[in-house]
Structure 1
Amino acid sequence: MKKFNQFNKGMIMYKLLAILALIVPVSAVAQTTQEKGLAIAKQQDAKNSGFKDYTNDIVMTLKNAQGQESVDYLHSMTLEVTAAGEGDKSKLVFDKPADVKGTAMLTYSHGLQPDDQWLFLPAVKRVKRLNSNNKSGPFMGSEFAYEDLSSPVVEKFSYNWLRDEACGEWQCYVVERTPRYEYSGYVRQVTWIDTKELRTVKIDYYDRKNELLKTLTQSGFKLYKGKFWRAETGKMVNHITGKSTVMVSSNFQFGTGLTAAGFEPNSLQDTH
């Protein structure tokens, strides 16, 4: 009888474990914080895939520590790249004021390889390839570094999930990512990604001394094509200098028929 009772207890325990296995995924039990961080990054990347291309307009406002402002008007073009380990191609073109009109930057985002970036300056009428060792410099006097303007590529970083917490009206994953590519100006970044739609709400950037350098806050998210979320406003604040840059985006157009030919370096001289 004793052996029979032990057998029954063993069967009950086995059934309970089997039920728990169905309710709780193995990954939820076995995942390390690094694996969870990487999984979130991969889910976010997959959610944003398939847009093909899009264009948008940007108003960029630069403010110094004394509150003085200058405003630039740009338009942007992005071409999706689906090759493994590669990021998208993007082009930023200044429309006004007159002293920067026609200035354009082209970015080919990569994973572990340095991004390729070119800058066209109308005053010198030539396309200049940017040094891959110096992507931490400011883009056109703004608080956005050149490396901030490349598209996200999962392979660029190693990840560590820190916690979940409220971020405004949403709940967010807080994930630390450490650059794996050479010459980054940051030792690490901490990102807030909403758990429902996987939108990047905030990024804290830490400099090479591991001090908080800048914070990017994104807001005004809108849904396009029933799938793709884009932020209307991105505000970058430099905690060291007190300067800030706000980019307000509008007029998003998806599937405009952009081709790779329009993202060749020589195309920067024909910016319209």
Structure 2
Amino acid sequence: MLKTIFVSSVLAVSCAMSFAQTPEQKGLDIAVESDKRDQGFDDSMVSLRMVLIDSKGTESPRKLRIKALEGEGEEGDKSLMIFDTPIDQKGVAMLTYTHKTKADDQWLYLPALKRVKKISSKNKSGPFVGSEFAFEDISAQEVEKYKYKYLRDETYDGKDCFVVERYPTDRYSGYTKQVAWIDKEGYRPLKIDFYDRKDSLLKTLENKEYKKYLDKYWRPNISFMRNHQTGKATRLEYKDYEFKVGLNNKEFTKNSLKRAK
């Protein structure tokens, strides 16, 4: 009888150990779940006010619109950003093709030069139109773009969160790692710390005032990126989200950049 109990106990411990997650597997599972909860939106449109804030607190606003098309299979999402103001940037447009396992494709249209410029993979860490967001920050964050490691549970902004470290697989990324606070209720990224190539804290992104659309898709009303090394910041204010509006691939081509309105 005692032997039976002992054997059963050993088997139970052994099974528990075999099913125990490593920090890497748990981190990946959290990322996969977060991505899964955002699938099926098809397409979306949103108006955006981008405010550049210098180290003295002076604000410089601009307005733009973003269209997005959900990817299929191995391809990631596509997005088109169109600037309406200020006047010297009106018509500037950015097209992004996100890929799950290879470098993203990005093109920038500059109406003053009447030309479409391909953004080199080596320059993805550069600032996007003078903001504290890099070109790589505005691409869809596909799960396959990173390796993951769960660090701990922690409360942030009054919400229970997973804290997950993720490491870009792109050798041209401007970051060695990112640390993300993902809330357990909605699997939404509330905060992300970005570390530069010297492994020093570079920037922090905070996503605030989330709202649920179509009873499923969470989107922040405000995203605030602060650069700790320069004292500059960029605030994004989202307005009038629309989903499933009938966008298609024809609206996300290099030719569409020139006629984006």
* TM-score when normalising by structure 1: 0.91
CA distance in 1: counterparts of 2:60 and 2:17, whole angstroms:
50
SS in 2 for 1:235: strand
Counterpart of 1:14 (choices 8, 11, 16) is: 8
Cα offset, 1:126, TM superposition: 1.2
CA distance in 2: counterparts of 1:15 and 1:143, whole angstroms:
55
1:248 aligns with 2:237: yes
Name 1:56's counterpart in structure 2.
46
Matching of residues 1-272 of structure 1 within 5 Å: 5-6=1-2, 10-11=4-5, 14=8, 29-84=19-74, 86-272=75-261
- In structure 1, the gaps of 5 or more residues are none
Cα offset, 1:26, TM superposition: 5.3
Cα offset, 1:13, TM superposition: 7.0
Q: Deviations over 1:68-117 (max 9, x none)?
A: 11100000000000213x32000110011211111000001112311100
Q: Is the 8 A contact 1:111 1:181 kept in 2?
A: no
CA distance in 1: counterparts of 2:165 and 2:42, whole angstroms:
28
Equivalent pairs, count: 261
SS in 2 for 1:40: helix
Once the two structures are overlaid, the 10-residue window that deviates more, 225-234 or 110-119, is 110-119
- Check 1:268–1:30 CA distance in 2 against 1; reply closer, same or farther (3 A cut): same
Q: Deviations over 1:125-166 (max 9, x none)?
A: 111111111101100000000000000111100000000100
User: Over alpha carbons, which structure has the higher Rg?
Assistant: 1
Cα offset, 1:17, TM superposition: 7.0
CA distance in 2: counterparts of 1:188 and 1:155, whole angstroms:
15
CA distance in 2: counterparts of 1:87 and 1:192, whole angstroms:
23
Cα offset, 1:16, TM superposition: 11
Q: How many percent of aligned residue pairs carry the same amino acid?
A: 46
Spell out structure 1 runs of 4+ moving beyond 6 A. Answer: 15-18
Q: Deviations over 1:33-53 (max 9, x none)?
A: 000000111111111100000
- In structure 2, the gaps of 5 or more residues are none
* TM-score when normalising by structure 2: 0.95
SS in 2 for 1:73: strand
Cα offset, 1:27, TM superposition: 8.7
- Check 1:28–1:95 CA distance in 2 against 1; reply closer, same or farther (3 A cut): farther
CA distance in 2: counterparts of 1:177 and 1:204, whole angstroms:
10
- Check 1:114–1:16 CA distance in 2 against 1; reply closer, same or farther (3 A cut): closer
CA distance in 1: counterparts of 2:47 and 2:17, whole angstroms:
41
SS in 1 for 2:87: coil
Question: For residue 269 of structure 1, what is the amino acid of its counterpart?
Answer: K
CA distance in 2: counterparts of 1:102 and 1:181, whole angstroms:
30
- Check 1:27–1:41 CA distance in 2 against 1; reply closer, same or farther (3 A cut): farther
- Check 1:191–1:122 CA distance in 2 against 1; reply closer, same or farther (3 A cut): same
Q: Is the 8 A contact 1:112 1:181 kept in 2?
A: no
